[in-house]
A and B are shown apart, each in its own frame.
Chain A
């Protein structure tokens, strides 16, 4: 089910601004890859380029290739809508739709053609359990999702993404707006989802990268400075700039 995502000599421009410079990296199935680096280094840009959410930005332009399995995602013939379905994305701010908890989860399956109530019920229960949220919300499925706490909302959003059965999970600082306990929930959730998905997570929190990821890539000024097994990168970085960043000399 999950696929390898390969980024090859990839450039991104916003008008004149060269936001990503010659990025090559691959994301393996059943692996969590953390993208770290200071603000504005291009890590979120890469993430949002992977499921083509940057298409909405005027003046956005790419060079090079991104492949999901064998498919070139910037091919003009590709079905972008279907591509986004295959790459579930979770944003920094938890944004449940102003609908009930049930309808939030069922939204994805419904737009992709599942209308049977029984099937939807199953999906809702299964994904909420996957997201470790079922026990907390099973008695209030038809209440508004806006009444949930921030941490619960973010798990709901993850469940909502899981409901469309993606192959890749793209998480854009999924815990940075949450309190420590909710963060722990999300981290455990990411580790459990690793069994089934290719996961890419952008994070500002280096401890978090250490805790949840297998691979880490360090970004600076739109380039990947260094990329390695997480343990290796944190303990014995090769590049001087990585070392400086990890030791907190800039950030």
Chain B
């Protein structure tokens, strides 16, 4: 009888520990397996894009200096993509020049000037805008913007200006919502301290709030730029898709993304043209990497 009780006690003590062990083990296994799947997928993607992207150069069909030249003529096996890359940069930079000040100002309004209205009305609105698919933005651009520019501003309507405007509207909500987060994370005490010294609201916003939020605001802008740089569909619909030099707002140009979306279906994998599209994809990947490193760098400086 006594012995029996003892074992039951031992069992009682042991069982929860054992159960705990299995639960721990199971939980850990699930997370481990998940993370390995993710890493594997990412690595194979990277490997695939890199090997495909480097193929034309390794085969000797195109040299790097040819690829980075401005001589584009696929029929003649000339794949100088300089203007296409510059097109991507131009449209990104122009869109950011419009969106960054607009977005940050709007974020300041929503958090500092009219927080109630901003929280209730503007913030949900921007969140909805983030969720609108890019093809819709492109469609609106194509239907309204392109004819308008062609008729009243200049050129045929397609081109750098249309791309810039569509992109600037697309990245605006991204910039606004991340800027709002950055500004809201500035401690209220900084504002109080500033007001107590006799600062006006504008002085407080300009010298304390924005200054403190600067790393976050820069992150917002860089993320907006990354989105603009990687956007394909909407851009392709309004930019014109002719690889001209992208230094004129009213001529049709091309970007890396629009070139890929436009031609991936019209070429076959054995063609050099198709392989060059992969090289463009690789360039996109590398530049996105630069954006991500930039954000890392900015946020690390904030912590230091």
**A interface, CB within 8 angstroms of B:** 51, 53, 56, 81-86, 88-89, 91, 93, 95, 97-99, 107-108, 110-112, 157, 160-161, 164
Contact = CB atoms under 8 A, between A and B. Distances in A.
B33 to A, nearest CB: 42
A160 B197 contact: yes
B189 A107 contact: no
Contacts of A56: 192, 195
B207 A111 contact: yes
B193 A97 contact: yes
Q: Give the one of B194, B198, B212 with max A CB within 10 A.
A: B198
B143 interface: no
Given A88-B197, A97-B193, A107-B194, 8 more contacts: A56-B192, A82-B198, A85-B197, A97-B194, A98-B211, A107-B199, A108-B199, A110-B207
A88 B196 CA distance: 7
B131 interface: no
Contact of B193 (A81, A85, A86, A91): A91
Contact of A164 (B189, B192, B198, B203): B198
Contacts of A95: 187, 189-190, 192-193
A157 B189 CA distance: 12
Q: Give the one of B193, B196, B200, B208 with max A CB within 10 A.
A: B196
A161 B194 CA distance: 10
B196 A51 contact: yes
A53 B197 CA distance: 11
A156 to B, nearest CB: 11
Contacts of B199: 81, 107-108, 111
A111 B198 contact: yes
Nearest to B203: A111
Contacts of B208: 97, 107
Q: Give the one of B190, B197, B199 with max A CB within 10 A.
A: B197
Contacts of A82: 198
A133 to B, nearest CB: 17
Given A95-B189, A111-B203, A157-B193, A84 B211 contact: no
B231 to A, nearest CB: 34
B211 to A, nearest CB: 7
B198 A84 contact: yes
B198 A81 contact: yes
A98 B212 contact: yes
B212 A107 contact: no
Contacts of B211: 98-99
Interface string B179-193: 000000001011011
B51 to A, nearest CB: 46
B195 A84 contact: yes
Nearest to B197: A108
A111 B194 CA distance: 10
A221 B190 CA distance: 30
Contact of A85 (B187, B192, B198): B198
B189 A91 contact: yes
Contacts of B192: 53, 56, 91, 95
B198 A112 contact: yes
A93 B189 contact: yes
Contacts of B198: 81-86, 108, 111-112, 164
A247 to B, nearest CB: 35
Q: Give the one of B193, B200, B203 with max A CB within 10 A.
A: B193
Given A98-B212, A99-B211, A107 B190 contact: no
A237 to B, nearest CB: 33
Contacts of A98: 190, 211-212
A176 to B, nearest CB: 15
8 contacts: A53-B196, A88-B196, A91-B196, A95-B190, A97-B190, A107-B199, A160-B197, A164-B197
A112 B199 CA distance: 8
B207 A107 contact: yes
B197 A161 contact: yes
Nearest to A170: B196
Interface string B247-280: 0000000000000000000000000000000000
Interface in B35-62: none
A91 B189 CA distance: 9
A15 B179 CA distance: 33
A196 to B, nearest CB: 18
A89 B207 contact: no
A53 B195 contact: yes
A155 B212 CA distance: 22
B17 to A, nearest CB: 44
Interface in B196-245: 196-200, 203, 207-208, 211-212
Contact of B196 (A89, A93, A99, A112): A89
A91 B193 CA distance: 8
A83 B198 CA distance: 7
Q: Give the one of A53, A91, A98 with max B CB within 10 A.
A: A98
Contacts of A89: 196
B223 to A, nearest CB: 22
